Structure 1
Amino acid sequence: MRDLAKLPKAHLHLHFTGSMRVATLRDLSQEHGVRVPAALLDDDPLRVPADERGWFRFQRLYDAARACVRSEADMRRLVDEAAADDAAEGSGRLEIQVDPTSYAPFVGGITPAVEIVLDAARSASAAHGVEVAVVVAASRTRHPLDARVLARLAARYAGDGPGEVVGFGLSNDERRGDTGEFAAAFGIARRAGLASVPHGGELLGPAHVREVVDALAPDRLGHGVRAGEDPALLAELVDAGVALEVCPASNVGLGVYADVAAVPLRTLVDAGAHVALGADDPLLFGSRLVDQYESARREHGFTDAGLADLARASIRASRASSGTRARLLAGVDDWLAAGDPDLSSPSHPPTG
């Protein structure tokens, strides 16, 4: 079996605060005199039920971690370390998601917050050899007008290279807010050339996926794993070319599935879906990018050829330039050919 940390891949579902190392959280909490729950520091992956009480606990922990990010230096550290961690795991492209609202009070507003993250992304890209682009995300728990403000801000920095905004997202509890009311914000982002990358179809089922698809016209769907419960809907997503950012560890951590083996990864891939594996919030779920590929190998029986196809799907679903995509795809072929030249063809069946 080939080393999955050397498999070139793109990482398309990673949240800014959730990317934080446990050691960094400990440092920042001590530096700022902020007490954090022991559950964030014990290296024990979060497991909560898939109900509102479970989400409340998850959100409370996430907010506690976010409260420790209180300066420009803190923000730059998170971006740099996220890039370093991704580079160590073979990621050649990271599209990290951030809602600047929470950090704005410490750095002078949402515009400086975004600019800090973008500048840090450029520096981290140069330092670690992984392209770091940014997805600006609104929250379902805030007013849709706030989302429009963020969409206009994101549009100012649109591009596909390191330190540029590539997409606009919608995150937080899927049970909150009216999806249709955020359509105007996504229209602003779309007209600026940004990818539509809302969350949907993790806590809620196929009906919610359809609601998000109809209202927000996603290019990629954050999670979307529950689409596997409706073959007709899944076929529509495949036909429309909507990629799914599947994060097995967080699906288990949030109680959607009992264990990683129950995540319908094989169902999605066998249906022809473009699946990009992601780590979501490693700080809480104790699992980074390579762990997702390892679970696909271990729990779902993906061969190295099948894992290579997952990596290819992540690269193709990214907003990287054609040159970056070509370089990373060639690297996947090289990774596979190093063990067996006959398996290097991109047409090899993704199921292995």
Structure 2
Amino acid sequence: MTRPVEDLPKAHLHLHFTGSMRIATVRELAAAHGIRLPDALLTDWPPRLARATDERGWFRFQRLYDAARACVRGEEDMRRIVREAAEDDLAEGSRWLELQVDPTSYAPFVGGITPALEIVLDEARRVSAAGCIGVGIVVAASRMRHPLEARTLARLAARYAGEEAGDVVGFGLSNDERRGLVSDFAPAFAIARRAGLALVPHGGELLGAQSVMETLEHIDPDRIGHGVRCVEDPQVLDAVAEAGVTLEVCPGSNVALGVYAQPHEVPLRAIVEAGIPVALGADDPLLFGSRLTAQYAAARDLGFDDRGLAGLARASLQGSRMPSRLRKAALADLELWLQPAAVTPDTQPIRT
């Protein structure tokens, strides 16, 4: 029997703010603000992305992402994104969402990076108050900007650090891995570490195993966004396993960006068999056209049975910063998901 993955209790640890938007939402915001969208976000969705492992491919991806982000023009738009991300995750069985945001992108429309972050946090508290899903926030710096800006964001994140829904729970580093040196961002992560935040930088998707190793050495992360290319070097694979770092693997992203040509090439099984905890993530559903349950469906296609899928969900819950009471309840419900279906008179086998 295969159980429905949307009923599997899980945590979603790799979802970007702009990239979480529904395609209908970005179209509505564009119309409301008089913004012309590229055809790839109108009639040709989801976009066919070139290989982002080369410069031209990444430029196309970034251009579309920037076009979507330009449609977010104020507080109500920002609140809508948080609210809809939580609703969509809840519908897919998520008990906890860690939504990643760089407040710098939205600061010009709301009076600065502090008000931008406070709006996101306030809406995260509102949607979490309903009690069905908790939302924590990860503040993410960009590798495209100067490392001093990352320190500013780390100090801001530290001011709002906490352990409940609506708090900042982590600090990340995103965007093109080929830009900047990981070591240059280490001081920002040191600030976040002192505040008790989870350290969750990207690495090892556009670049190979060495990128993962440098992230381990310079940041000592709790999780790594992607990290799939650690399999290219057995020593790095072992180092990730020894460090106990959770990898946020996003199969849909890996294929859409051309890191792997086909879904069956994503090395999810090799990573799990190496003893590395994996939390599946959707990354940017707006551009990749697939949400969280699609990642679990992809894992099933790679040969993970229901118990294997439950193991991935368990790793996502344990690798999260969700409050312990919520984690305990979700883990208990996960075990119930694995239980055999009750046999009722209507489902009794016919005896011949």
TM-score bucket of the superposed structures, by smaller chain: over 0.9
Does the aligned pair in 2 maintain the 1:104–1:112 contact within 8 Å? yes
- Aligned ranges 1:211-230 → 2 under 5 Å: 211-230=214-233
SS at match of 2:173: strand
Higher mean displacement: 225-234 or 180-189: 225-234
- In the other structure, the counterpart of 2:321 is 319
Aligned: 1:280 with 2:283: yes
Distance 1:319 1:212 in 2: 20
SS at match of 1:14: strand
Does the aligned pair in 2 maintain the 1:45–1:253 contact within 8 Å? no
- In the other structure, the counterpart of 1:39 is 40
- In the other structure, the counterpart of 1:65 is 68
Normalized against structure 2, the TM-score is what? Answer: 0.95
Aligned: 1:51 with 2:54: yes
Of residues 292, 296, 301, the one that matches 2:303 is 301
- In the other structure, the counterpart of 1:108 is 111
Distance 1:57 1:340 in 2: 51
Does the aligned pair in 1 maintain the 2:49–2:60 contact within 8 Å? no
Shift of 1:126: 2.4
SS at match of 2:95: strand
- In the other structure, the counterpart of 1:28 is 29
Does the aligned pair in 1 maintain the 2:20–2:285 contact within 8 Å? yes
SS at match of 1:13: strand
With over 3 angstroms needed to count, the CA separation of the structure-2 counterparts of 1:340 and 1:294, relative to structure 1, is farther
Higher mean displacement: 41-50 or 247-256: 41-50
SS at match of 1:295: helix
Of residues 282, 288, 291, the one that matches 2:294 is 291
Distance 1:315 1:258 in 2: 29
Distance 2:208 2:131 in 1: 38
Normalized against structure 1, the TM-score is what? Answer: 0.95
Distance 2:89 2:138 in 1: 16
Distance 1:301 1:22 in 2: 31
- Aligned ranges 1:91-130 → 2 under 5 Å: 91-127=94-130, 129-130=132-133
Aligned: 1:90 with 2:93: yes
SS at match of 1:44: coil
Distance 1:304 1:295 in 2: 13
> Whose Rg is larger?
2
Aligned: 1:5 with 2:6: yes
- In the other structure, the counterpart of 1:350 is none
Distance 1:128 1:257 in 2: 38
- In the other structure, the counterpart of 1:249 is 252
Distance 1:317 1:71 in 2: 32
SS at match of 1:198: strand
What amino acid sits opposite 1:13 in the alignment? H
Does the aligned pair in 2 maintain the 1:2–1:339 contact within 8 Å? no
- In the other structure, the counterpart of 2:347 is none
- In the other structure, the counterpart of 1:344 is none
- Unmatched tracts of structure 2, length 5 or more: 344-352
Distance 2:54 2:164 in 1: 38
Of residues 65, 70, 77, the one that matches 1:74 is 77
Distance 2:87 2:130 in 1: 8
What amino acid sits opposite 2:305 in the alignment? T
SS at match of 2:46: coil
Higher mean displacement: 125-134 or 308-317: 125-134
Does the aligned pair in 1 maintain the 2:171–2:199 contact within 8 Å? yes
Identical columns (%) = 66
Distance 1:293 1:80 in 2: 23
SS at match of 2:337: helix
Shift of 1:340: 8.6
What amino acid sits opposite 1:225 in the alignment? V
Does the aligned pair in 2 maintain the 1:249–1:287 contact within 8 Å? yes
Count of aligned pairs: 340
Distance 2:14 2:164 in 1: 17
Distance 1:31 1:280 in 2: 26
- Aligned ranges 1:199-214 → 2 under 5 Å: 199-214=202-217
Shift of 1:32: 0.3
Does the aligned pair in 2 maintain the 1:5–1:89 contact within 8 Å? yes
- In the other structure, the counterpart of 1:18 is 19
Distance 1:180 1:243 in 2: 20
- In the other structure, the counterpart of 2:349 is none
Shift of 1:65: 0.2
